[in-house]
Amino acid sequence: MAPFGPTLLRFAVGLVFVAHGVRKLFGFGGGGGLNGTAAFFAQAGLSPAFVLAMAIGLAESVGGLLLIAGLFTRVAAGILTVEMLVAVWKVHLANGFFLNWTNVPGAGHGYEYNLVIVAALIAVILSGPGALSIDRSKTREADADAAGRARLRPGAV
């Protein structure tokens, strides 16, 4: 059952990133869309805000889908880890550790959520994609091909 641990983590984290990415890009689920995301980025001092909003929205959407599929898993998780660390540094660190659960006006969210997401992404990087992944099936095919070539070599038993 051990290969299913990273799979479950990969699916859950991938779904979270897809949901956040489409909110940034298209405004689904009450998100701001590209214009709202760009305005937030500009307020946070990130520029060029619109280009970054598009890049982050795409990174989260596509990266999340790649995590769910288990394709280029470590690369996608690495890119999303860097994105989350930048979010902590540029937005959440100044607000302390905890989320703003009571939605106090003018108070942002701390970095506790981002910390959990970064830890999950690093766990996937370290453990690999787990079961039910395209990466794992490609690895198995490559291993089988290598074993077949080894049997064809002279002197192989």
pLDDT at 140: 66
Q: Give the whole-angstrom CA distance, residue 56 versus residue 44.
A: 14
**The pTM of the whole model exceeds 0.75:** yes
pLDDT at 137: 80
Q: Please check whether residue 155 lies inside any domain of the structure.
A: no
Domain count, the chain: 1
pLDDT at 150: 66
Q: Please check whether residue 133 lies inside any domain of the structure.
A: yes
Q: Is residue 123 within 8 Å of residue 107, measured between CB atoms?
A: no
In the structure encoding, which two tokens stand for residue 47, read together?
A: 């520029």
Q: Please check whether residue 157 lies inside any domain of the structure.
A: no
Strand, coil or helix: 28:
helix
Range of the domain at 110: 4-150
- pLDDT-wise least confident of 15-19, 21-25, 120-124, 147-151: 147-151
pLDDT at 138: 76
Neighbours of 81 (CB within 10 A): 19
Over residues 103-111, mean pLDDT: 92
Question: Residue 157 above 90 pLDDT?
Answer: no
Q: Please check whether residue 15 lies inside any domain of the structure.
A: yes
- pLDDT (tens digit per residue) in 114-146: 999 999 999 999 999 999 999 988 766 656 666
Q: Is 101 left (phi over 0), alpha (psi -120 to 50) or beta?
A: alpha
- pLDDT (tens digit per residue) in 56-99: 999 999 999 999 999 999 999 999 999 999 999 999 999 999 99
Q: Please check whether residue 68 lies inside any domain of the structure.
A: yes
Q: Give the whole-angstrom CA distance, residue 122 versus residue 143.
A: 25
- Confidence band of 20 (pLDDT split at 50, 70, 90): very high
Q: Give the whole-angstrom CA distance, residue 53 versus residue 70.
A: 25
Average pLDDT score over the chain: 92
Q: Please check whether residue 54 lies inside any domain of the structure.
A: yes
Question: Residue 155 above 80 pLDDT?
Answer: no
